[in-house]
């Protein structure tokens, strides 16, 4: 058994029972973004969170233990994603990557926006011309220092 | 001559004269995100915008014409970016890609978040533990339809 | 169980029973192009469509539920397809890609032809020198806008 | 000198003089699709066509000779195109590739749709919800035969 | 079950029973080249051919049906083949590719040698310095036409 | 200066003067296949051959010396060729590769068909349904031996 | 002009004048590791540092300005490095990568060792069996947090 | 059975029983770094070490024998690692690779730092601004010699 | 069943019974290099050799038959090997490849050193500074000829 | 100027003057293998060796200095070499790689054959059936040690 097996079981159960990620998140008291990433095998659960997920998805004790092990991260099967929704995000990095780099450096100097001390919030924004997906990314700026 | 030559000249002039992207954006009356992408060879200028940029960066009439040609987009030299700042964005797509997909589908059904009918806003968020980079991405949801 | 398992079962049953995609499409009241893409794991079924496919291919309730889950899209095993029929399409993109880009931009300006708000129609065109495959692709033009 | 040099000169001249591909095509008496592919270094000109293009773009005799040499085809710099407009076409092949294969085989049996005995027609289709790009692809069906 | 399963069964049975491809071809009344390609999952059988192969290799009715389904072609596990015999053919394409292109264009003009309307014949040629493999490839020339 | 420079000069001169490969081959007294490969930078000339080519293409003494240096072989810019004519040959290796392997081993046992002790002959074969390209490949069989 | 040009000039001057990185570092009052990375185009100089480097390597004012621009980082020409010294480091990541991951997670929980808030120290360690390279890497631990 | 099966069993047992790598290392009397690498299938055990691991992880005699077989090394599934913790190490090689090369050559001349005659020590360094990961790498310098 | 299954069984049995490749080679009366390559699925056995190996490794008649089938060669899972021992050989080809090419051409003219009419001998060479691996490669020179 | 420029000048001069690597090696008093690798930009010269090469190839003082700088090694333009002579060496690694690994481990235990403390000797071996290339590789065995 490994973490992938647990992820697959969670997804299968979700499909069968028609569970919503948002509902899972509420039971855990965490954001739907972090909770979904956890269920998809990208984050690490505390023992209490693992127990709660165990109830929701009918996981054994061993499966709950796997949720507490730090996973090998990376959720995509290919370096350039083939799925159209995910590809659009890759395209944003490809087309706007140099722009993002220039503007963060112009504001903050040399360094990066952390992908670890990081959070994400995805919301529907109603719009008469067609609703929009609004995403807020927030990452700590980490400066390169001289030494 | 091609668009890359114009991009390189813009960047060279920016370094030499110490021009800020934000200042360029104000003169154009556009966001700093779109303006920078334009100057870096990813967007297309109107004749007026090209003329304005021509003044700021000392571009010839031919160079201004190239700014009005739709460019071959994609601003990164490798499929997986090596620059740490840009890589962190690639990592967000890699680690959170399946999460983003799940949550947008849960909210909107099958479809994508457009990377064309799209805007981006990058801001500094003061934080006593270390300032944060706040980025808002807004893309129209486009549904797959049956036919 | 996952969507691939359902796709494989559909294909196996199709081969065994000699079912035609066109016949499946008629029962669903959809185009043969969209219906085939659905059966091959690229589109998402409504509950009614899933039920109908369940009857045609002998799918369990669980398998019908998987048809209603948005799939991870991308139907080819390699970035450059090895199958001669599919490669010819890749070749069209490779040889005519820059031409398509130039002509759409000449007509519409900067933007893309949507692959989401999109439909496809494949027909036989009788021809004394050898029948032809006629394909009509229709995608909404989405303009890049300044912001 | 090689064909690429001629292609670059044609494109540069086009930008400088504001020439339209459609106008070039009319002067040649060919479709705009084939004419653009020729100018972008993918097709081969007859001596008369080369002479005509020579006048339009101010090409030397040597440059006109290069237009009559069969080029090494393939107009994209990477196997997976980074430009969003061209990528959408690659995505169509990726998502619908297996569907196209199934439906052509269902109609014609084993074989391919030729990318050589092939023509393409790109048109604007007015639509109140947003104009559409309509593309007709026509390729001769070539059957595999036993031997 | 899929076509690969049938291919593997055919190869296993061939090894176990010591069947020769040439003998199979004679029973089918086809060339050994086409017959082997069929058995290796690259070509499509008629119902009669499938039945005959069924007898030779002990295939079930379902397996015979799979032989009549157009396969996803491409018989090699990597883009650059590792097997020395097959690599030599790849090397011929690599070293002589530009030569082949030049000479076919010199004789026929712009177009291709078809790999679909195509046959291949492999023979031993006795030679006192060491026997030779003689291969005749015959493909219809397909011209690019203007339109 | 290197061999590529000489190859480019040969090709440029050929285009400008309208020289045929077959005519060059006759002057050298060699096959048109080997001669073309030599001119395209894949084979090595004797001093006499280099001198003859020097006359035909107006090469300096230094350029003639480069023709006598064994080149770094491989005439294609990408592992999977994008040019349609050359791709068809790659496709033959991809689709028929396992067949070729099986039939040569069935006839000769374990070993390879040499791509060094090798010759190639390309001819037009008149055919009322459309002329064909006929290619004869002849390579010495080299057996693996036990030791 | 770009940063690469400045890096190449620095390296050329270093070779010609026989300058040592350690000596450059002392003049800057920084570690030899950071200083070398700066000179090789991976770090960003302050105006004073750029001026100092300008004296050492004879850089123009424009070249000094480029040293103050945040560079596009990544100092290796291929994803898997071919140089034996650098490959050994890649091999350490390949062979020990999962070990490093396990042990940092065992000690710190889920998170990463920063490559930004990071320093490196390379020293010779005398050893009678052959001197050793001793490298100390120090990176801040950044925990993933729930949100 | 192969070494991977043994590695997976060790990891599964570790998760289920909550064993620490450091505790395993103490029982073996080796460093935690080498011990973890051994358990993850990168190093080779002596018969005594295999026996001890057999007790700790409940391995059969056959499984213990596999621990004594030199493994095919390389612990990562992709050339560029997707896991953020391991990627940071890859990034260090990418950004600092040329720096490391320059400084080792400046001190030692041409040669490499061995990744075989090599050891690694990972420690927590308390720091009020956030604890740090401290890693010491020690590798013998191996000079290239003339011959 | 296929050749890989037989290879895996041979390796498993070797580990379990503690068989040495050299001992297998002696029983076959062949070199240890060729014998090991045969057992690892790279060479083809005669019926007698297959029978002998059948006794040593407890192979069934069917498994012995597979040993007599010419295998698809290539023993490494990735184009650039990750295992340090094998990588060093790849590095020799990378660093010394152009040297090997120059020296063989200087001595023999244009052609190759055969990897088919080839043998290899690996020996320990005692050395007070540390024993050495001595490898002798012997391959027939095959000249390119004009035709 | 960089090391590549010096390498190209050396090769150009060699072609023009008809210098032999073996003659260069004799003047340096080193093996032809090491000397050729040095001239091709893979090894590092002492000041005396650089001076000697300066005389032979007419190098300036600056060019001689570049010969004394440790180069970025790796002499091939692609990971899988296209040149037939060099490919045969890659094929040996591919086909015999697992064999080499097994036999060195059987004799020496876990470790590698050094590619640094390494020498190579290439000789013609007369043979009535066709002369052979004989290559002796000698590399120190470096054991992995526990720690």
The residue among D43 and F1 whose pLDDT is bigger is D43
Partners of A122 in the beta sheet?
A135
- Annotate B7-31 with DSSP letters as a single string: HHHHHHHHHHHT--HHHHHHHHTS-
Dihedral angle sign, alpha carbons of residues J94, J96, J98, J103: negative
* Order of strands across the sheet that contains B132-143: A111-125, A132-143, B132-143, B111-125
Q: What pLDDT is recorded for position B136? A: 98
Give, as one character, the DSSP assignment of residue I110.
S
Element holding F19 (H helix, E strand):
none
Q: CB F2 to CB J16 under 8 A?
A: no
Q: What pLDDT is recorded for position G67? A: 98
- Render pLDDT for F56-91 as a digit per residue (tens, 0 to 9): 999 999 999 999 999 999 999 999 999 999 999 999
Of all residues in chain J, the one with the smallest CA distance to E89 is J84
Q: How far is A145 from chain C (nearest CA, A)?
A: 35
Per CB-CB distance under 8 Å, the chain H contacts of J43 are: 110, 144, 146
Tell how many helices (H) and how many strands (E) occur in chain B.
Answer: 6, 2
Q: What pLDDT is recorded for position F28? A: 98
* Interface predicted TM-score (ipTM) over 0.85: yes
Q: Rounded mean pLDDT of H23-51?
A: 98
- Render pLDDT for E95-138 as a digit per residue (tens, 0 to 9): 999 999 999 999 999 999 999 999 999 999 999 999 999 999 99
In order of C122, E114, F90, the CA distances from C96 in angstroms are 20, 20, 20
CB G103 within 8 A of CB H21: yes
The secondary structure of J50-91, three-state, reads HHHHHHHHCCCHHHHHHHCCCCCCCCCCCCCCCCHHHHHHHH
CA dihedral of A17, A22, A26, A30, whole degrees rounded to 10 = 130
Q: Rounded mean pLDDT of G139-146?
A: 96
| Identified catalytic residue from J88, J119, J132, J138 | J88
Element holding B114 (H helix, E strand):
strand B111-125
Chosen for mutation from B44, B68, B73, B81 (greatest number of chain D CBs closer than 10 Å) is B73
The span from the CA of C96 to the CA of F127, in Å, is 30
**Domain I84-143 CATH superfamily:** Cyanate lyase, C-terminal domain (3.30.1160.10)
pTM equals: 0.96
Active site residue H114: yes
Show which subunits contact I, needing at least 3 CB pairs below 8 angstroms: E, F, G, H, J
All residues at 6 or more sequence positions from J4 whose CB lies less than 8 Å from its CB, including other chains: J41
CB A27 within 8 A of CB A50: no
Q: CB C142 to CB B43 under 8 A?
A: no
CB C54 within 8 A of CB C44: no
The span from the CA of C141 to the CA of C112, in Å, is 6
User: CA-based diameter of chain C, in Å?
Assistant: 56
Nearest by CB to I138, from J42, J86, J125: name it: J125
Nearest by CB to A84, from D80, D82, D91: name it: D91
Of all residues in chain J, the one with the smallest CA distance to G79 is J79
Q: What pLDDT is recorded for position I131? A: 98
All residues at 6 or more sequence positions from A62 whose CB lies less than 8 Å from its CB, including other chains: A1, H15, H16
Nearest by CB to E94, from F40, F76, F103: name it: F76
pLDDT band of residue E94 (cuts 50, 70, 90) is very high
Q: Rounded mean pLDDT of G50-60?
A: 98
Nearest by CB to G91, from I87, I94, I95: name it: I87
Nearest by CB to A91, from D87, D94, D95: name it: D87
- Annotate A66-80 with DSSP letters as a single string: HHTSPP-----SSSS
Q: CB I109 to CB F30 under 8 A?
A: no
- Render pLDDT for H44-62 as a digit per residue (tens, 0 to 9): 999 999 999 999 999 999 9
Nearest by CB to A74, from H8, H16, H82: name it: H82
Dihedral angle sign, alpha carbons of residues B16, B17, B18, B23: negative
Active site residue H124: no
Q: How many other β-carbons are positioned within 10 Å of the β-carbon of residue C125?
A: 12
CB D92 within 8 A of CB D4: no
Nearest by CB to G115, from H79, H91, H124: name it: H91
| Identified catalytic residue from D12, D114, D119, D138 | D114
| Identified catalytic residue from E46, E114, E119, E138 | E114
As a residue count, chain I comes to 147
Nearest by CB to A83, from C2, C74, C115: name it: C74
Three-state secondary-structure class, residue G53: helix
The span from the CA of A11 to the CA of A33, in Å, is 16
Q: CB G70 to CB A110 under 8 A?
A: yes
Token pair, residue A54, equals: 């165990």
pLDDT band of residue E16 (cuts 50, 70, 90) is very high
Q: Which CATH class is domain C3-67?
A: mainly alpha
Per CB-CB distance under 8 Å, the chain B contacts of H95 are: 84
Q: Rounded mean pLDDT of E9-33?
A: 98
Q: What pLDDT is recorded for position J47? A: 97
All residues at 6 or more sequence positions from I5 whose CB lies less than 8 Å from its CB, including other chains: I63, I66
The span from the CA of H99 to the CA of G99, in Å, is 25
The secondary structure of chain J, three-state, reads CCHHHHHHHHHHHHHHHCCCHHHHHHHHCCCHHHHHHHHCCCCCCCHHHHHHHHHHHCCCHHHHHHHCCCCCCCCCCCCCCCCHHHHHHHHHHHHHHHHHHHHHHHHHCCEEEEEEEEEEEEEEECCCCCCEEEEEEEEEEEECCCC
| Identified catalytic residue from H46, H48, H88, H102 | H88
User: CA-based diameter of chain F, in Å?
Assistant: 56
Chain D interface residues (partner A, CB cutoff 8 A): 80, 82, 84, 87, 91, 94-95
Three-state secondary-structure class, residue C84: helix
Residue A112, Cβ density class (10 Å: 0-12 exposed, 13-18 middle, ≥19 buried): buried
CB B133 within 8 A of CB B124: yes
Active site residue E88: yes
In order of D147, E26, E31, the CA distances from E56 in angstroms are 20, 12, 17
Dihedral angle sign, alpha carbons of residues I56, I57, I60, I61: negative
The span from the CA of E21 to the CA of E39, in Å, is 9
- Render pLDDT for B25-37 as a digit per residue (tens, 0 to 9): 999 999 999 999 9
pLDDT band of residue I52 (cuts 50, 70, 90) is very high
Element holding D123 (H helix, E strand):
strand D111-125
pLDDT band of residue H27 (cuts 50, 70, 90) is very high
Q: How far is E86 from chain I (nearest CA, A)?
A: 9
Q: What pLDDT is recorded for position J94? A: 97
- Render pLDDT for J44-93 as a digit per residue (tens, 0 to 9): 999 999 999 999 999 999 999 999 999 999 999 999 999 999 999 999 99
Tell me the domain boundaries of chain H: 3-67, 76-109, 110-147
Backbone angles phi, psi at A78, to 5 degrees: -140, 150
Q: CB F137 to CB E92 under 8 A?
A: yes
Of all residues in chain E, the one with the smallest CA distance to C83 is E73
Q: CB C91 to CB F87 under 8 A?
A: yes
Give, as one character, the DSSP assignment of residue G71.
P
Question: H-type helices in I29-108, by residue range?
Answer: 32-39, 47-57, 61-67, 84-108
> How many residue contacts between C and F have a Cβ separation below 8 Å?
10
What is the separation of C-alpha J37 from the centre of its chain, rounded to a whole number of angstroms?
4
Of all residues in chain A, the one with the smallest CA distance to G25 is A147
Backbone angles phi, psi at C73, to 5 degrees: -85, 165
Token pair, residue I123, equals: 């020996």
Chain E interface residues (partner J, CB cutoff 8 A): 80, 82, 84, 87, 91, 94-95
Q: Rounded mean pLDDT of C9-35?
A: 97
Per CB-CB distance under 8 Å, the chain C contacts of E64 are: none
All residues at 6 or more sequence positions from C131 whose CB lies less than 8 Å from its CB, including other chains: C124, C125, D108, D140, D141
Give, as one character, the DSSP assignment of residue E71.
P
Three-state secondary-structure class, residue C8: helix
The span from the CA of C108 to the CA of E129, in Å, is 67
Residues of A identified as active-site: 88, 91, 114
Per CB-CB distance under 8 Å, the chain D contacts of C103 are: 21, 32-33, 36, 122
Q: What pLDDT is recorded for position A134? A: 98
Token pair, residue A109, equals: 């100097």
The span from the CA of D76 to the CA of C95, in Å, is 8
Q: How far is A60 from chain B (nearest CA, A)?
A: 24
The span from the CA of C73 to the CA of D97, in Å, is 11
Mean pLDDT of chain I: 97
CB B21 within 8 A of CB B13: no
Partners of B98 in the beta sheet?
none
The span from the CA of G83 to the CA of I58, in Å, is 45
Which residue, chain included where needed, has tokens 């068809």? F88
> How many residue contacts between E and J have a Cβ separation below 8 Å?
12
- Render pLDDT for G40-52 as a digit per residue (tens, 0 to 9): 999 999 999 999 9
CA dihedral of B84, B88, B91, B97, whole degrees rounded to 10 = -150
Pick the CATH number of B110-147 from 3.40.50.2300, 3.30.1160.10, 3.30.43.10, 3.30.70.100: 3.30.1160.10
Q: How many other β-carbons are positioned within 10 Å of the β-carbon of residue I123?
A: 11
Q: What pLDDT is recorded for position D66? A: 98
Chosen for mutation from D11, D82, D88 (greatest number of chain B CBs closer than 10 Å) is D82
> End-to-end distance of chain D based on CA atoms, in angstroms?
45
Mean pLDDT of chain A: 97
CB H71 within 8 A of CB J144: no
Chain C interface residues (partner E, CB cutoff 8 A): 8, 11-12, 15-16, 18, 77-78, 80, 82-84
Tell how many helices (H) and how many strands (E) occur in chain D.
Answer: 6, 2
Q: How far is H130 from chain I (nearest CA, A)?
A: 35
Per CB-CB distance under 8 Å, the chain I contacts of F145 are: 117
């Amino acid at each position: 058994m490994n973490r992938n097996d647990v992820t697959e079981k969670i997804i299968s159960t979700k499909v069968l029972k028609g569970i919503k990620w948002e509902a899972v998140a509420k039971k855990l008291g965490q954001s739907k973004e972090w909770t979904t990433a956890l269920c998809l095998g990208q984050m690490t659960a505390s023992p209490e969170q693992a127990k709660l997920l165990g109830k929701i998805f009918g996981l054994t004790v061993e499966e709950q233990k796997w949720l507490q092990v730090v996973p090998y991260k990376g959720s995509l099967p290919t370096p350039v994603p083939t799925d159209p929704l995910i590809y659009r995000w890759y395209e944003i990095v490809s087309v706007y990557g140099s722009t993002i780099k220039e503007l963060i450096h112009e504001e903050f100097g040399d360094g990066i926006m952390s992908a670890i001390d990081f959070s994400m919030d995805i919301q529907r924004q109603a719009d008469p011309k067609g609703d929009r997906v609004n995403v807020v990314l927030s990452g700590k700026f980490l400066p390169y220092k001289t030494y």
